[in-house]
Structure 1
Amino acid sequence: MTNDRLFAGIARVLSVRPLAAALALLLTLPLIGVQAQSLRPSSGLRLPTPAASAGAAAGSASGQRQADFIVAVVNSEPITNSEVRTKLVRTEQQIIQQGSPLPPRRELVPQVLERLISDKAQLQLARSAGMRVDDNAVEAAVQTVARQNQISVDELRRRLKADGIAYSQFESDLRDELLVSRLRQREVDLRVTVTEQDIDQFLREQEGGTELSSLALNLAQILVAVPENATPGQVAALQAKAQQVMDKARGGADFAALANEFSDSPTRGTGGLMGLREADRYPPLFVESTKSLKVGGLAGPIRSGAGFHILKVIEKRQAGMPGSVITQTHARHILLRLSPKQGETAATEKLAALRKRILAGQADFAALARENSEDASAKQGGDLGWANPGMFVPEFEKVMNGLAPNQISDPLVSRFGVHLIQVLERREAQMSQRDQREMARNVLRGKKQEEAYVLWAQEVRGRAYVEYRESPQ
């Protein structure tokens, strides 16, 4: 399999605050002069006011119906005031949870609306191309969200209900994200290439960089969440709890174990690890608090809108440059390819049945792989050998990375078909020069895909006919 990048990122946006954040889309599209076929009202677009948005989020159904109206029309499909309002509230929740400063609503609202317009145009393009996502793929995505948050699907349903989100709407949003991600794979990601000259130039450019903007960080966190409207006494008690955890960490306690025991963040199941990324992709609060720390250093408790954070520097190096030591994964899989005779539903059901037999001790994974897998690894019992990060497509690797040794995944869909994955073991390994070049290739491919996606999204948006509507007086 070749490396690729999955747009959806469904589970990674979850935080300890309500699971509405799972539905918030990051506002990554630059709002530069798109030559769209648009009709703009001469007096300017009137968007939901802060009071209207906040009130409607908790208002009654009848109040929402009375306040609702069409804000924009995209190729004859409307976007309503309630859609913008809901997306705005969820986006604000996500920004607060990430510890980033909340921009003024007068700046955020137009970006939310523009993102809704862009998303709708992409969904329309996917549907016109005959693309679809079946119920099994959506159910697998729901299970992934629940598993990443270490809760059951029933508990996920309960939390969604508590946050005022209909489960049917949650599924619908997941379906749309999956559909857009598949469209992106077809239209953008598969067309990106990285040459050996690109890699040589990239490695030369990375040599000697010492600025913060050129650094990549891998941080782990323990979050002691502070609920909204907490009293001063509650805040003080939670701060004291965070300080006690920090004292344990400074005293030599295992940080991963502390995260698993005390953290309110979804990353607690992975020892609090937030992953290696460029410094500017972390909240500025986190970067500022750790910029002077060496690897292994601790910071905190640090106050944000979400609560009190305790941070540990796991890795710090030049952005984009492969580290000398990497975590390799030894896994195996069973692959069923899709065809007119074997659709996604049938393949998913077959793999679910095989998984059930393996977990019940009625069958051996390797034997079933030899009998059923349609991958070249079938003869080896599905064994994929030791894999470096970035070797597999992200939708496969993301699930694989979330598995503990000997754990078996639910069936998952990739561009190659439907997979069942089992992680056998993991190890730390020194990278060879060849490995470093391959890692650099993956970094470059990801960057090129992001750049190509932004241009493609602008083109799709530019071809759309958009009419902005005035709000009722």
Structure 2
Amino acid sequence: MKRFLAPLLSIVVFALALPAHAQLLPNAGAGVTSSPNQLDRIVAVVNEDVILQSELDNAVHAIQQQYASQPGQLPPQDVLQKQVLDRLILMRLQLQKADDQGVHVSDNQVDQAVAQVAQQNKMTPDQLRTEVEHTGQDFGAFRQQLADQLTVQQLHQSVVHDSVSVTDSEIDNLLASPNYKAGEIHLAHIQVSIPSGADAAAIQASAAKAEQAINAIKGGMDFHAAAIRYSDAPDALDGGDLGWRRMDEVPPAFADTVANMKPGDVSSALRGPTGFHILKLIGQREPSKQIVTEYHARQILIKPSELMTSDQAQQKAQELYDQIVNKHADFAKLAKDNSKDDTTANIGGDMGWFAQDAWGTVVTQQISQLKDNEVSKPFQTGDGSWDIMQLLGTRQSDLTTQMARDQARQAIGNRKAEQAYDDFLRDLRANAYIKVLVPELRDDTNTPAGAGKSS
């Protein structure tokens, strides 16, 4: 199966990494169907919605296909079904909340997502459609999955935007803290949840499950396989891989443990706010100085409008270029009189010093070809405008300190966002009506945090 069934990490331009809760769960027709005479049954009720046996079967089958070359990494069938059902419930709850809040995605956004998935797999959208249908899936259902994921991403953005802010004081405190660690680490984790409002027996059951996972790893089980088998986290079926992250993004409760680990080490079971966590340090890399090329330039931007066609805008830009190059007209005066860029026109088109990609790839391509004081020929920008640029200077700047502050801001924001959305999900689930109707699919001994109301 092609990699288009892997989680999509960059469908939307978004400051935060895609939350694990929004990862793509294959559930379109994946080759498992009910016979004509077999009635589909409801396996779970989620508020006023239901999850059908066929949905669960198709999702489980898709996961099995994904691990077809490594079937030993999957847990027993009953455990896998519970994990997949739990993820389906969590997705359904988020989609319901998004609908309540009026969060929806357009067909155009889904089209863009399809195009991006196709590009990531070196295909055209038509080739992607053919490949999806070749695997036995319905392309309409595949599009719906992408729409669902985009919807959850927008919900996540809304929740985080309303609850997360980072102050300069927090950045200063983090950078000045003796516990601040530079560099990046590649982590994987296993999370064994503790139910909301759990009693001593439930906490002990979670601790025992975490200990089983540790013993399995010590006994030779691959950490990736152990995460699939034992973890309650939404990323369990992805092997618990957290990817590369900066040391300052590690929750403070775990930072000291991680700081003392070497690549390949596995931690003991660490008690956190939502349960027990087992961490594996896969790799680490030291920070390096951030030396970047910066340019000082000025521009004259001519925009098409209701009174000026694109061809007329191009002709106007060419006339201004001829005045500058052939008649030695004053660039700054022409910019002030003619440029339609609101941020630079009044200061003679001066763009100040900027990093290589600050104004986009088109500007970068043009500016990198110029010598000091050279004027570019008119070129078209991404929005159809015509631009003339003059390079005033080039320099190499050490942005290590500034980038450290930017990274600290992002790390604090990511940490707060992760906690805020986790709290949101726990709240969402605790206040939902969830009833699993099939006894063998219930997991009463270790129900994920905030299992919801049931009867």
TM-score (norm 2): 0.48
Larger radius of gyration: 2
TM-score (norm 1): 0.47
